[in-house]
Structure 1
Amino acid sequence: MNRRSFLSSAGALLAARSLNALAPLQSSQGSGNSAGKADHFIRIEPCTLDIGHGVTIKTTAYNGQVPGPLLRLREGVRVTIDVTNAGTSSDLVHWHGLAIDSLNDGAMEEGSPMIAAGSTHRYTFTPKPSGTRWYHTHAAAYGDLSVGTYSGQFGFLLIEGKEQPARYDQEINLAIHHWEPSFVPMVETMREQSSNMPLTTGSDVGYKYATINAHMLGAGEPIRVKQGQRVLMRLLNASATENVVLALPGHSFKIIAMDGNPVPNPRTVEVLSLAVAERVDAVVEMNAPGVWVLGSTLQKSRQMGLGIVVEYAGKTGDPVWKDPPAVEWDYTQFANTAEAPAPDETFVLTFRDIGSLHGSQFDTWTINNKSWPDTDPLLVQQGKRYRMVLRNGSGDQHPIHLHRHTFEVTRIGKKPISGLMKDVINVMPLDTVEVDFIANNPGGTLMHCHQQLHMDYGFMQLIKYKG
């Protein structure tokens, strides 16, 4: 079943009730039994989510909460997870950032099975590598903005290894999401409201509300801290299409990991950029007592709700926001300056949009002038190192995700780097980024733009192993 035939059989999914995701984390160790009781249970179900004062969202979520239940697993310990689909349409769950087999990865393009409405499917895998991963639906949406990653189907997936990422006193998981999507023209108003800042015209998706975890700014409980604490913040952009830029006035973020992988050069920054599906682990030293807003650097996004209050013990008053200095996000500052090893083979991949086709109001996307499912697969041989030259020939930003593998970022524009390991990289308009991966996990492997709108309309390609 391809994404288009899946859509034609899909009904509208309904929607989500909130859970305070700042609750203490619970550790778990799976047994990995393929028979008997599963280690974890997830239920895809409609529910209602109260995100702000008088603002109610109907969506689909996991176990009636947004984000879904925290899954804390042990690296190398086999686990079973039963997923029950209590919705009205077929669906599936993708375990984002894990090096697991294609059947359990959760992408229909790789051969993962869809879960029919009313059915339960058991995923069985050995989680690796360690770090901040996440899980989410990988269903198509096309013009139905109530399904796919537009919905509340996402949650944190923390894989614990032998080493702690850093010394900290408190850990907090913060997931960003946008709600009430609608079709809008991609014009000047979108540039003012969106961190994506498109350069071209056409149809796009805009949003009415935004949340961090289950609530808009000013609703729900604040992050409560004490002076002198070191807080580990795990930040996830779980939006369907919106890249975000965040700041916490009076504080800085020491970035220690990206997409769950330790960075070779931890750096302290005042502003964070998170493309769709990216994660950042950052340590924040609480040394500016007061009541602050951690939120979007865009005023209109904060007005939509994209923020959360940070409150020091013993401090009261209205939360304070101060605009940070304007800076450009630079991946290279977290990497090594030495060049990466030469690859065994290089694939040059050029992305473009070719306008709307077949009556669609959205642009169709191509890789080397072909659109999914007609894109040519990339053929690789196990054990070899491959370089993908990602050439963005469009005016949009593209967060490129590689399934089942971790890649090394080897060049941003004209600057060679090494050591920065990720599974999502944001390629800016008319820019080129190079990434290397080792073909060390045989099976069908999907590469795509993680913006739901782009993925649905052609921006996907498979990697296949020879032999």
Structure 2
Amino acid sequence: MNRRTFLKTTAAGIGAALLPTFSLARSADGFFELTAEKGQARLYGKDGGLSDLWLYNGRLPGPEIRVKRGERVKVRFLNKLDEATSVHWHGIRIDNAMDGVAGLTQPAVKPGESFDYDFVVPDAGTYWYHAHTMSWNQVPRGLAGPLIVEENEPVFDPASDITLMLNDWRLNEDGTLETASFGARHDFSHAGRLGNWLTINGASMPDISLQQDRWHRIRLINSSASRVLDIAPSRFGAKVIALDGQSFDEARDIVGTLQLSPAQRMDLVMRPETAEDIAFETMTGQPFQFATFKVSEASAPDLPFTMPAANTLPEPDLAAARKVPLNMAGGAMMGMRALMEEKSEDEIRQMMDNGMFWAFNGKPGMDDTPLFSAKNGESIVIESRNDTSFAHAMHLHGHHFRVLERNGKKLEHPDWRDTFTTQPRETVKIAFVTDNPGKWLIHCHMLGHAASGMMTWFEVA
């Protein structure tokens, strides 16, 4: 598909903005009800066939859960699929038993069974939830939804606070989801499962309604299995105010592009000055428009813009921090060479026969030994080195960290993140405080990479 064909087949028939403005219905005992079930949707606009998907509450994306900072969230999850699953609440500094990692923090929820998630959200920001059992298979079928934690005092008018879940799909010629290649060894050992189609909130080329001379917050969530999206906010008049749910001190003009890797979030502010259409593009490769901001005249006076208050996160003590290496090796394109210093050719061949193509510190996949064990309140610096030929989106569960350095150079903005991107041959240094007891996962959010070796864990006493 080229851009001209894309616009021709999707621009017609797509109406107003398709945004997740719904909320979960509460049951009598105060629980949100969330069900994983089979369903269908058209991913390739009105001209595409119906794709067989796995959905939360029959929606694509799953229903938006919107709560206030400090609020208690109670979700009764029911599994109506034919295989076990679980729900991970991505980016939330959550109680460990509620983190949703099957085999580490809870048993997987079997077909026909349920699990009650009950936790408090300590931080305002843009987060999301997704399946965390065989994620490489379940998330790209549709099991994901937004989780928005609002500030205690409203910063934006609700109509101007817009959530956009960006997703990359691999479609057949008839526009339906291609499923035969799920778990393909080529995808696992290369860049991951990359698609040929982009949607926003499950729709192709949607119109996103904005109003002239009004401030809008645009919450971007990359829920793709592997696709890194390059966004240039200045091209459509936006500034960045938060990454991975953590607000800055002030709005930031970005020169060039900002990467939005799988699982990462980016909060933007926009105030269109004219009632004209604005192209929303990804800059990965050549500029590619995949939505349109439709700007109309304002229907009410604008609220003044104020920055959302930053969350209070524990600052690591760098002088006293313990250093932990995280060396990434493996994959195709000569990536296995980095393992040959530690493993024989027979060991590497056996590893690949077992579907393992990646390793952390020479170890493919998880076992009973943690990457490290820490005291509650200890400062940790993870020094990662990417000895592979591919980018990776590294996610840390239960904590946020500051990104301090890249290739030995200190960053101008050591932002708080829960997922960082590392490029081939790059070193990245992050720091955080282990203030959340339990067993926590560290893994690549290119989901096929995690399934084939790029996954480990640490424990906090």
> So what's the TM-score if we normalise by structure 1?
0.77
Other-structure match for 1:45: 37
Once the two structures are superposed, the pairs formed by residues 195-274 of structure 1 within 5 Å of their partners are 202=190, 204-217=192-205, 220=206, 222-247=207-232, 251-264=236-249, 266-269=251-254, 271-274=257-260
Other-structure match for 2:65: 71
What letter corresponds to residue 310 of structure 1 in structure 2?
F
> Aligned residue pairs: how many?
398
Distance verdict in 2 for CA 1:454–1:293, change over 3 Å: same
User: Partner of 1:312: helix, strand, or coil?
Assistant: strand
What letter corresponds to residue 226 of structure 1 in structure 2?
Q
Q: CA RMSD in A?
A: 3.1
User: Partner of 1:454: helix, strand, or coil?
Assistant: helix
2:75 to 76, 81, 94: 81
Q: Is the 8 A contact 1:248 1:292 kept in 2?
A: no
Q: Is the 8 A contact 2:351 2:357 kept in 1?
A: no
* Aligned-residue offset at 1:46: 0.6
Other-structure match for 2:460: 465
Once the two structures are superposed, the pairs formed by residues 99-114 of structure 1 within 5 Å of their partners are 99-114=93-108
Query: Are positions 1:433 and 2:416 aligned together?
Result: no
Other-structure match for 1:394: 388
Query: Are positions 1:351 and 2:344 aligned together?
Result: no
Other-structure match for 1:175: 165
What letter corresponds to residue 162 of structure 2 in structure 1?
I
Distance verdict in 2 for CA 1:366–1:151, change over 3 Å: same
Other-structure match for 2:310: none
User: Partner of 2:193: helix, strand, or coil?
Assistant: strand
Distance verdict in 2 for CA 1:410–1:299, change over 3 Å: closer
* Aligned-residue offset at 1:379: 1.1
C-alpha separation in 1, matches of 2:258 and 2:53: 28
What letter corresponds to residue 404 of structure 2 in structure 1?
T
User: Partner of 1:53: helix, strand, or coil?
Assistant: helix
Unaligned runs of 5+ in 2: 1-15, 171-177, 298-315, 331-335, 337-347
What letter corresponds to residue 341 of structure 1 in structure 2?
L
C-alpha separation in 2, matches of 1:148 and 1:260: 24
Distance verdict in 2 for CA 1:273–1:377, change over 3 Å: closer
What letter corresponds to residue 350 of structure 1 in structure 2?
N
What letter corresponds to residue 226 of structure 2 in structure 1?
T
* Aligned-residue offset at 1:363: 5.8
Distance verdict in 2 for CA 1:133–1:356, change over 3 Å: farther
Once the two structures are superposed, the pairs formed by residues 270-309 of structure 1 within 5 Å of their partners are 271-298=257-284, 302=288, 307-309=290-292
Distance verdict in 2 for CA 1:50–1:169, change over 3 Å: closer
Query: Are positions 1:383 and 2:371 aligned together?
Result: no
2:112 to 103, 118, 122: 118
Distance verdict in 2 for CA 1:173–1:357, change over 3 Å: farther
What letter corresponds to residue 242 of structure 2 in structure 1?
A
C-alpha separation in 2, matches of 1:65 and 1:434: 39
* Aligned-residue offset at 1:94: 0.1
C-alpha separation in 2, matches of 1:165 and 1:24: 18
User: Partner of 1:229: helix, strand, or coil?
Assistant: coil
Once the two structures are superposed, the pairs formed by residues 308-347 of structure 1 within 5 Å of their partners are 308-313=291-296, 341-347=318-324
* Aligned-residue offset at 1:455: 0.5
Other-structure match for 1:451: 446
Q: Deviations over 1:82-105 (max 9, x none)?
A: 011011000000011111122111
The farther-off stretch of 371-380 and 108-117 is 371-380
